[in-house]
Amino acid sequence: MKQIFKSIVALLCCGAIFASCEQEAPKAEMSADLTSIEVEAQNPEEVAVTLTANTSWLLTTPKWVSASATYGNGNTILIFTVEPNYKNETTSTLARQGEIKISGGGTLTGKGVVITIPITQEGYTYVDPNPSLGGIPDVDEFVDFIKAANSGGPLKRWTAENGDVVLLADINLSNANIDWQAIADETDVTNSNNDCAITSTPFTGVFDGDNHKITGFNPTVALATNKTFGLFCAISGATIKNVELDGTMTVSATGQADAGMLVGTAYNSTIRNVKVSGKLVLTGSTASKRFALGGVCGFAMAKEMINTVIEGATVDVEVDAVGGTNQANGATCAMYGGIVGFATAVNAADNSIVIIKDCVNNGNMNVTLGRCSGICATMNTGTTLENCTNNGNQVNKIKDGRLGNIVCNMSHYCHLINCVNNGDIDATVEGYKGTVGGIFALAGSANGCTITGGANYGTIKTLSTAGTSLKYVGLLWANHNNTIPTSGLIASGRIIIDGVEREINASNYMESIGSIKYPDSVTDITWVAPK
């Protein structure tokens, strides 16, 4: 019995000891001084978290976060390093979120503890320093566009979704701080009679005026040798379309140069559906050098199997120009064309041509120029004039000139198709070598040329101050000097030479259409009596 009692007492004592041990075991406790973390995308700073713990612990993080320690025991300071949420300055990134977890105290006994710290990192948002406007909304942006184009900088700010530079409103340049800087103003161009070399920065994109009007284009410029000028000084592989231009451009030149109200030089480019109005003033040029002026374009060139096209242009530009005489063959003079001054292809046989189509000139020409016409002064080679009309009158006081109200001269691979002149020519010449025709002055090459359709309804009036009347004067042309196939033209109008009007009727009109070296090449000419 005594032995049994001792055993019971011993068991009770052990139970008490075990109970006492269980009560004395510490409870796991942890805390952190931060309950959440937020960091920047591009340059995130390290984050320090103070951990207070009475137990061992284990730490886990998102893959884009690293910690100074991933396990430990007791109190510590944890340093978290976050990877940048950034690729480059032009690539946006999304914000990202994750959790930092610290587990301690042992989870198997059910007495563990877990701290969760949410971590958020900002995304990087690209902000375009030059955001797109979808076009040019006002004059200040137009000036900025000019500066960007001249420097070769990006033009995205002023482009639509299709990449075209677009006018969003009418633009008045009267008070613009340009002084005078035009588009592609620094372009150097060497335009020979048979080639074109652009050595700096032409405009190469698409400019869509969206039928808006640019006014106040009033530059005064003196051009050095091999310079070109216009609202667009030079364009290459470009398109200019759907725009109106009005202003007064005053130019002079010290050597060979080119200028047009809209475009100075167009190389392998297209100009379509444009209107130009105002005034063009030429104050002087070097007489022995070509200075090509145009109501739309000064010099148009086609090369490398690519056409240059000027289509649907309407010009109402008053011209007041004093230049040099036509010294010799080779366009050695100042010249003006209501649409284009000088047009040529490098090699028309390779199908690179200049096409001037569906254009109208309404502007009058008061000039002293060796070559002047309502459409194109010189079709040098590889040029087609089709369905063009001149309504402007020409008064020209020149020593020796080649004058025609559609074109002055046409050469190899040129085609004149259904062009009509309604304007008058009043030419006062100092000599007798000048040539004056209602449609053209001289067609001197038969190589690939044709003349089809067209008419002259204007009056040709000439006065020679030398006492000898001009040799080459005609209702249709002055001098048809080669075997160019010519047919389907209407002869009308009047001829007045030195104050005496020539009597022209249905019986004798062929004697007044102009000089013909090869009569068999000219057929189907119809007389219509002038009203």
pLDDT tens for each residue of 281-326: 998 776 678 889 999 999 999 988 889 999 999 999 999 988 765 5
pLDDT recorded at residue 394: 97
Q: Which amino acid is at 386?
A: E
Please indicate whether residue 150 or residue 70 has the higher confidence score (pLDDT).
70
pLDDT recorded at residue 350: 60
Most confident stretch, 2-11, 43-52, 222-231, 466-475: 43-52
Domain 30-121 fold: Immunoglobulin-like (2.60.40)
User: What is the domain partition of the chain in residue ranges?
Assistant: 30-121, 202-527
187 has pLDDT over 70: no
pLDDT recorded at residue 7: 42
- Grade residue 178 by pLDDT with cuts at 50, 70 and 90: low
Residue 22, classed as helix, strand or coil, is: helix
Q: How far apart are CA 193 and CA 329, in angstroms?
A: 11
15 has pLDDT over 60: no
- Bridge-based pairing state of the strands 171-172 and 206-217: parallel
Residue range 317-352, pLDDT digits in tens: 999 988 765 555 566 788 999 999 999 987 666 678
What one-character DSSP code corresponds to residue 167? B
Q: Which amino acid is at 425?
A: I
Cα 375 to chain centroid distance, Å, stands at: 24
- Are 55 and 104 a contacting pair, CB within 8 Å? yes
Residue range 423-464, pLDDT digits in tens: 999 998 876 667 899 999 988 777 889 999 999 999 999 988
Q: Would you tell me which CATH number, out of the four given (2.160.20.110, 2.60.40.1930, 3.40.718.10, 1.10.287.130), belongs to the domain 202-527? A: 2.160.20.110
What one-character DSSP code corresponds to residue 512? G
Most confident stretch, 98-102, 123-127, 351-355: 98-102
Residue range 197-219, pLDDT digits in tens: 777 788 999 999 999 999 999 99
Residue range 128-144, pLDDT digits in tens: 777 889 999 999 999 99
In this predicted structure, which of 40-54, 174-188, 326-340, 416-430 has the lowest mean pLDDT? Answer: 174-188
Going from the C-alpha of 493 to that of each of 337, 393, 435, 490, the distances in angstroms are: 22, 13, 17, 10
Per-chain mean pLDDT for the chain: 88
